[in-house]
Structure 1
Amino acid sequence: MPEPILRAEAVTKRFGGFTALSGISASFLAGQLTAIIGPNGAGKSTFFNVLSGSFPPSSGRIFLDGTDITHTPQHQLAHMGIAKSFQITNLFPKLSVHENVRIAAQALRSRFNLWAARDALDLDGEVMALLARVGLTDRRFEQADTLAHGQQRCLEIAVALACKPRVLLLDEPTAGMSPQEAREMMDLILALNEERTVILVEHRMKLVMGISDRIVVLHHGTLLAEGAPDDIRRHDEVRRVYLGQSV
């Protein structure tokens, strides 16, 4: 087994007296697409937030390429190659599509005055390439909050890609999308996975089973199962947890 690019070791997360995650250990191999699934309240988004540095674990550790990054600030994680998008779209709504991506690209190069750096850095070619990657070239001059929901999700992915991540974390990338939009988003995610490790939290299990190399199943804040899609489909306890749902 090769060294995982990202690894959680005995991660526990408590909010006051509530334990959201309990002793979860999971490995994510470089170049793979791993989906984190589970019923509502399973701890998926909490685990995502711990992996991405949004929440510090109450105990346990997170490793990137074997280096302990448990208490590393989020802005440093971005420079180390971890980028993420959120379940709730997180953009500059009154800026243009182009400006949203440009600011992210500038942030990778200048940690301080982004506005002072905007004229000093020639990033238009890079920004246009990212917008083409997510199908937004024709919308580049439009204000971000005028885009349809699915397009806003694509823009957020372009913003994440501007950080040149080795690991891309996506929280519910198809949330609020029609079936057709969800399939198009999954096609985009598959294409992105050809160049980087992708970890996503997703509730559309049929889509997940069709694109994932590996699946991590959470239930009541614990690790229920981990394996290839076919192994998860045959797992008796997973089938019991998802009673009435197709896995």
Structure 2
Amino acid sequence: MKDGPLVAHIAALIGDPARANILTALMGGKALTVSELAEEAGVTLQTTSTHLAKLRDGNLVVPRKQGRHRYFALASPQVAQTIEALMCLSADRGMPRTRTGPRDEALRFARRCYNHLAGTSGVQMYESLIRRGYLTIADAGLTLSPDGYLFAEGLGIDVPELVARRTPLCRECLDWSERKTHLAGSLGRALLDHMIAHRWVVSHETTRALTFTPNGAKRFNAAFPADWELSG
């Protein structure tokens, strides 16, 4: 039998349950240690190291060293996008991960999707920007309109600096829990960074969930109202 295409190799790497758990744990955008990933994967440290070596060889994760500690992170936003898409596919096939208890509810409401906002609140933000014409969908993809440019700058976002980057300014990302679109790209990352810097949301060490502060929730809903069409 002939060797399959590269996609078959990548799929095999992701398809192992322990490696899938490792990649999912890294979707929070943080670099984690081998012991932290072993706990997430439910396997021994030695087995986790073997899995990480395979994921590294497949360009799915990259090692990072800080002092005596060694961490691992997803290799690129494209890897995160692939994992998020597979989460959506598994949910559509009736095979979602267990989602019970307050912690999971918090993840569904607001969480990191690698480096941008996801969950119910992420979808609310995207749809609000679309309804007001700040984001437009064209043949070339998702773009920021002139009004959207002004809106982002009003929040303190340095749009020209984002445009100068190699990464796309705006990109659609399918939300695995909502099965709708949320905003990725350098603008999505900048908006989440803004929310964290101004304490609209608080991030946590042990979960991808993001918690809105009381003031942050008010400011978020004012900036990205869910009922814009009714009140605008």
Q: Same fold (TM over 0.5)?
A: no
Greater RCO (CA < 8 Å, at least 6 residues apart): 1
Which one has the bigger helix percentage?
2
More strand by share: 1
TM-score, normalised to structure 2, is 0.26
Q: TM-score, normalised by structure 1?
A: 0.25
